[in-house]
Structure 1
Amino acid sequence: MISRTHSVGECGLGQGTVQTKTRHQEPRDQEQRQKGQPDQEPTKSDRLRIHNLVTRDPRTGLAEDVRKGLAASPKRFLPKYFYDELGSQLFEAICLLPEYYLTRAEEEILRNYSDEIAAAVEGKKTLVEMGSGSATKTRLIIEALLREQTELLFMPVDISASALESSSRILLQSYPRLRIEAYAADYFAGMAELEKSERGRTLALFLGSNISNFPSADAVRFLKAMRSVLHKGDALLLGADLKKDPATLEAAYNDALGVTSAFNLNVLARINRELGGNFDLRSFKHHAFYNEDKGRIEIYIQSLLDQRVRIDKLDIEVDFAEGELIHTEHSHKYDEAGIDQLANATGFVRTKTWVDSQGRFSSNLLMAE
Structure 2
Amino acid sequence: MISLSNFDSANESFVTENEFLAEVKLGLGGAVKSLPCKYFYDEVGSKLFDSICESPEYYPTRTEVKLMKDAAPEIASAIGSNADLIEYGSGASRKVRYVLDALEMPASYVAVDISRDLLMKASRSVAQDYPGISVHAVCADFTKPFDLPKDVGIRSRRSVGYFPGSTIGNFTRPKAKEFLEVCVKTLGPGGGMLVGVDLKKDPITLEAAYNDAAGVTKAFNLNILSHINRELSGNFDLQAFGHVAFYNKELGRIEMHLESSKKQSVTVSGNKFYFEPGERIHTENSYKYDIDEFRTLASSAGFIPSKVWTDSNELFSVHFLRI
**Common fold: TM-score over 0.5:** yes
Aligned equivalent of 1:309, options 241, 259, 265: 265
Q: Do the aligned residues in 2 keep the contact of 1:69 with 1:76 (CA within 8 Å)?
A: yes
Q: How many percent identity over aligned positions?
A: 41
Distance 1:123 1:265, change over 3 A: closer
Q: Which runs of 5+ in 2 are unaligned?
A: none
How far apart are the structure 2 equivalents of 1:212 and 1:174? 31
Structure 1 runs (4+) deviating above 4 angstroms are: 188-191, 194-197
CA distance in 1, matches of 2:163, 2:266: 39
Contact preservation (8 Å) 2:13, 2:138: no
Give the unaligned 5+ runs of structure 1: 1-42
Q: Read off the aligned partner of 1:298 and give its amino acid letter.
A: E
| Counterpart AA for 1:207 | P
Do the aligned partners of residues 123 and 63 (structure 1) sit closer, same or farther apart at CA in structure 2, a change above 3 Å counting? closer
Letter matched to residue 73 of structure 1: A
Whole-angstrom CA distance in 1 between matches of 2:212 and 2:89: 25
Letter in 1 for 2:136: E
CA RMSD, Structure 1 to Structure 2 (Å):
2.1
Q: Classify 1:73/1:195 alpha carbon distance in 2 versus 1 (closer, same or farther; 3 Å).
A: farther
Distance change in 2, residues 1:194/1:355 (3 Å): farther
User: C-alpha offsets along residues 130-173 of structure 1, whole Å, 9 cap, x if unaligned?
Assistant: 1112110100100101xx33x53112222233223211221122
Q: Cα distance 1:90–1:56, how it changes in 2: closer, same or farther (>3 A)?
A: closer
Cα deviation code 1:250-303 (max 9, x no counterpart): 000011111111111122233333333333222221111101111000111111
Amino acid across the alignment from 2:89: G
Q: 1:334 to 1:190 in 2, by over 3 A?
A: same
Contact 1:54 1:185 in 2 (8 A): yes
Does 2:238 correspond to 1:281?
yes
1:209 matched to which residue of 2?
166
Q: Give the Å deviation of 1:123.
A: 4.1
- Most deviating of 102-111 and 269-278: 269-278
How many residues get paired? 320
Structure 1 window deviating more from structure 2 (231-240 vs 258-267): it is 231-240
Q: Does 2:39 correspond to 1:81?
A: yes
Q: Does the Cα contact within 8 Å between 1:125 and 1:152 map onto a contact in 2?
A: yes
One-letter code aligned to 1:181: H
Pair 1:48-2:4 in alignment? no
Task: Tell me the distance in 2 between the aligned counterparts of 1:142 and 1:351.
Answer: 20
Q: Is the CA contact 1:121–1:233 (under 8 Å) kept in the aligned structure 2?
A: no
Which TM-score applies when normalising by structure 1?
0.81
User: Which of 39, 58, 64 is equivalent to 1:106?
Assistant: 64
Alpha-carbon contact 2:145-2:182 (below 8 Å) kept: no
Q: 1:267 — aligned with what? A: 224
After superposing the two structures, state which structure 1 stretch, 348-357 or 228-237, moved more.
228-237
Would you say the 8 A contact 2:291–2:317 is kept in 1?
A: no
* Alpha carbons of structure 1 residues 224 and 172: separation in structure 2 relative to 1, 3 Å: same
Indicate conservation of the 8 Å contact 1:67/1:314, yes or no. Answer: no
Shift in alpha-carbon separation, 1:304–1:161, aligned structure 2, 3 A: closer
Q: Which runs of structure 2 are paired with 1:9-24 in the superposition (5 Å)?
A: none
Tell whether the 8 Å contact from 2:43 to 2:118 is kept in structure 1 after alignment: no
Distance 1:130 1:204 in 2: 7
Aligned to 1:230, which of 164, 181, 187? 187
Which shifted more, 113-122 or 224-233?
Answer: 224-233
1:157 aligns with 2:112: yes
- Of structures 1 and 2, the larger Rg is shown by 1
**Could you say if the C-alpha distance between residues 223 and 194 of structure 1 is closer, same or farther in structure 2, counting changes exceeding 3 Å?**
farther
Counterpart of 1:274, as a letter, is: E
1:318 alignment partner in structure 2: 273
1:125 aligns with 2:44: no
Q: Distance in 2 between matches of 1:212 and 1:137?
A: 18
